[in-house]
Amino acid sequence: MKWSQILFLVLVITGVTLAQSDIDAKVDQLLNEMTVAEKVGQMTQIAIDFISNAGEAQGQDALQLDPARMELVIQKYHVGSILNVGTHAHSVAKWHEIITAIQDMALQKTRLRIPVIYGIDAVHGANYTRDATLFPQAISMAATWNPELLKKTAEITALETRASGIPWNFNPVLDSGRQPLWPRLWETFGEDAYLASILGVAYVKGLEGDSNDISAPDKVAACLKHYIGYGTPVTGKDRTPAWIPDHYLRQYHLPPYAAAIAAGAHTLMPNSGDVNGVPVHASHYLLTELLRGELGFEGVVISDWADITNLHTRHRVAANNKEAVRLAVMAGVDMSMVPTDLSFPDALIELVQEGSVPMERIDEAVRRILTLKYRLGLFERPYPDKSLQAQFASPAAAAVNLQAAREAMILLKNDNRTLPLRKSLKVLVTGPNAERLSPLNSGWTITWQGNREELYPKDKWTVRKAIEAKIGKANVAYVQGATVDRETGIAAAVKAAKKADVVVACLGEDAYCETPGNITDLTLPEAQLNLVKALQATGKPVVLVLIEGRPRIIRSIVEDSRAIVLAFLPGLEGGRAIADVLFGDANPGGKLPVTYPRHPNDLVLYDHVLAENTGGTSRYHPQWPFGFGLSYTTFAYSDLRLDKQNVPRGETVTAQITVKNTGQMAGKETVQLYLSDVVASITPPNRRLQGFEKIDLAPGESKTVSFTLGEAAMSFVGLDGKPVVEPGQFKVSVGHLQQTFEVK
């Protein structure tokens, strides 16, 4: 390395150190000046609903702040954070008006002039800002298996969120989605900890930047949620208990959080439920010993919506709200998302005055919060940056969005090369999700539930409109046939099918989010199954397009469907992307980030099964396995080789594989490496994903892909909660090929 490079690095490191030292000094000075009430106010987050006319506001940008409530919250109670949208998505100008009024109150009417930090759930773009770029939801982005593409979507989300005047995004969701009934599955990156870790880091870096300089005008603070174990409720219903042994928690749930914390994420939100009988919001072990002691997290822990109060009202581990506040704060929660009353600051002040919560703990929490505000640049630039509006919802962002939606499409079945369809065909478009934008996006879209179809932008295409644009209205017939759960005209759909060359049936779910999305049966509702069976009986080829947030069981209609495309929740460009795939203007290359079950009582995950038959009965019989996805071209895998067969403990082994496009169309293939520990001291998973790379191949083109496996890949978490590499045989699988090596 040249001396000039060394000097540059020294200057950079020194600059960072001085900057942090300067922040520390300013925070210490502020803390010394603050009263107990002012400190507790910084630990309080209130929903905009509480300081506005949210309950009565109608129409676009109708929300108005209530001056008296603002004075109570910001001046009297010194509240340091506001969240939420109040009604439905606001324009950029309206957000600027809201944020400016809040900051005016904080900076002009309070003693210490500490700016307010505003937070929002921008989970697939700036979804609470009107006309924002709304990307595929997380489960669809996971289906792309493309970290760089995900990072681009996060960068755009950060810019458009900051352009709205908001510096804090409550995302990414790093829960391991290992219970397919769970209504928040689509907010995750799927069931696998390794895939979620890679994607989670990419998303954090997209929001915060490669150096995590969140003071940059186009960056926001990330919030990792919902730490930890939220994605595996026993019942499958939202905010219900999970039972997870500690070594399983560390093996299957902790890695995405550990990776994102190591990547520099600034904030974190706990699980609303309980794990092994202990609500996470009250767990000192999870929030302090594990999170801070082992993982080294130094940022702000903010509660989820009303979850401190819920320690009393739902979990019943606290006799009253005051005791709930004590439990949460002492466990490690720094800021309470109260969100619609002032019970938290009242209770916490009393607890400090009586000595039940020591001043040291208050100062610790407030120091973290003030540090976050300084790092975001809020003290220097508290108001919205109006210059960013010129980059809001740009054509370049729309192009990234369309690319993401196309890459998210998973081709599950394609008998006799039914797809792609010829553009000269006459097509019947049917099903509950053919003519709506809301199912393409689902929750956290314009409103919390995402189900206000009338609020969606009129210039975006439904699947029906996209197909009409592709082949002309004269070649497209549309009959709904059924809603999500009710037959509305199956006979009419059958009549139309007889005049068509092919049927495209758009099935799936309504828009939903969180608890309203709870279901009791993973099977697709009977009305939709009946519609498809009637259409199949006509003898016309039926193509299914599944638009859903979780893998709804469709066993009874799979065999007689000619082709099946799984779109999950592809966002505002989803209709166009679906049509592009159906007619061959895009080659599908998505892969399943979850196991797609065949039966309601056979919800077995890919990494914790035995592949071989035992007693004549397979233990793993999904409809489609994790990592599966077809293409319009074909790929041949060959020459899997390892650089060594005997691996001393502590050394690495490198695997290489050659992949060739043997078809007639260019395509993207995700090369996946799985590792199996053949014998272990506790029953090992059948296999675990330990490497993947997405490659683009022209017809006839070959590429060699390499993966290096170290101790982290070979280890498992033992019963003592510690990772261990045991000597013995390991099996490497890539495609249909396998090789083994021995750890000595």
**Would you say residue 608 lies in a domain?**
no
CA dist 560 and 579 (Å) reads 22
In this prediction, residues 86-101 reach a mean pLDDT of: 97
- Give the residue among 647, 705, 704 at the shortest CA–CA distance from 677: 647
In this prediction, residues 3-14 reach a mean pLDDT of: 35
Neighbours of 682 (CB within 10 A): 11
Same domain for 139 and 97: yes
- For the stretch 259-268, pLDDT in tens is 999 999 999 9
Same domain for 470 and 340: no
Confidence check: pLDDT of 12 > 90? no
CATH no. for residue 574?
A: 3.40.50.1700
How many domains, in total, are found in the chain?
3
DSSP sequence for 342-370: SHHHHHHHHHHHTTSS-HHHHHHHHHHHH
* CA-based torsion, 49, 52, 58, 59: positive or negative: negative
Same domain for 578 and 665: no
Confidence check: pLDDT of 89 > 90? yes
| Per-residue three-class SS string for 551-599 | CCECHHHHCCCCEEEECCCCCCCHHHHHHHHHCCCCCCCCCCCCCECCC
Q: What is the pLDDT of residue 56?
A: 83
Q: What is the pLDDT of residue 19?
A: 83
Helix, strand or coil, per DSSP, at residue 686: coil
- For the stretch 289-323, pLDDT in tens is 999 999 999 999 999 999 999 999 999 999 999 99
Look up residue 431 and give its amino acid: G
In Å, how far are 153, 186, 226 from 175, measured between CA atoms? 20, 11, 6
The angle subtended at Cα 724 by Cα 721 and Cα 729, nearest 5°, is: 140
- For the stretch 427-442, pLDDT in tens is 999 999 999 999 999 9
Q: What is the pLDDT of residue 15?
A: 42
Confidence check: pLDDT of 638 > 60? yes
The angle subtended at Cα 87 by Cα 82 and Cα 91, nearest 5°, is: 85
Look up residue 306 and give its amino acid: A
Confidence check: pLDDT of 269 > 80? yes
Confidence check: pLDDT of 612 > 70? no
Same domain for 367 and 421: no
Q: What is the pLDDT of residue 609?
A: 57
Same domain for 427 and 375: no
CATH no. for residue 686?
A: 2.60.40.10
For 29, residues 6+ apart whose C-beta sits below 8 A from its C-beta are none
Q: Are 703 and 695 in contact (CB under 8 A)?
A: yes
Confidence check: pLDDT of 1 > 50? no
Confidence check: pLDDT of 5 > 50? no
Same domain for 225 and 96: yes
- For the stretch 653-685, pLDDT in tens is 999 999 999 999 999 999 999 999 999 999 999
Range of the domain at 158: 30-391
Out of 539, 565, 582, pick the residue that ends a domain: 582
**Would you say residue 240 lies in a domain?**
yes
- Mean pLDDT, the chain, whole residue set: 95
- For the stretch 558-601, pLDDT in tens is 999 999 999 999 999 999 999 999 999 999 999 999 999 999 99
Active-site residue set: 304
Out of 373, 391, 409, pick the residue that ends a domain: 391
What percent of the chain has pLDDT above 90?
94
For 654, residues 6+ apart whose C-beta sits below 8 A from its C-beta are 642, 643, 706, 707, 708, 709
- For the stretch 330-360, pLDDT in tens is 999 999 999 999 999 999 999 999 999 999 9
**Would you say residue 253 lies in a domain?**
yes
Same domain for 347 and 212: yes
Same domain for 387 and 423: no
Q: What are phi and psi of 21, to 5 degrees?
A: -65, -40
CA dist 98 and 225 (Å) reads 26
Look up residue 176 and give its amino acid: S
DSSP sequence for 612-647: SEETTEES---SB-TT--B-SS-EEEEEEEES-SEE
Token pair in block for residue 449: 């539930």
CA dist 600 and 521 (Å) reads 7
In this prediction, residues 2-17 reach a mean pLDDT of: 37
Q: Are 404 and 172 in contact (CB under 8 A)?
A: no
Same domain for 298 and 208: yes
In angstroms and rounded to an integer, the radius of gyration of the C-alpha atoms of the chain is: 26
Q: Please, which pLDDT band fits residue 66 given cuts at 50, 70 and 90?
A: very high
For residues 466 and 3, the model is more confident at 466
- For the stretch 484-512, pLDDT in tens is 999 999 999 999 999 999 999 999 999 99
Q: Please, which pLDDT band fits residue 6 given cuts at 50, 70 and 90?
A: very low
Same domain for 296 and 160: yes
**Would you say residue 500 lies in a domain?**
yes
Same domain for 187 and 106: yes
**Would you say residue 590 lies in a domain?**
no
**Would you say residue 441 lies in a domain?**
yes
- For the stretch 144-156, pLDDT in tens is 999 999 999 999 9
Q: Please, which pLDDT band fits residue 55 given cuts at 50, 70 and 90?
A: confident
Q: Please, which pLDDT band fits residue 610 given cuts at 50, 70 and 90?
A: low
Q: What is the pLDDT of residue 608?
A: 77
In Å, how far are 260, 369, 380 from 227, measured between CA atoms? 12, 19, 31
**Would you say residue 589 lies in a domain?**
no
Look up residue 726 and give its amino acid: E
DSSP symbol at 77: S
Same domain for 310 and 165: yes
- Give the residue among 684, 593, 230, 601 at the shortest CA–CA distance from 407: 593
- For the stretch 16-30, pLDDT in tens is 445 888 999 999 999
* CA-based torsion, 4, 9, 10, 14: positive or negative: positive
**Would you say residue 11 lies in a domain?**
no
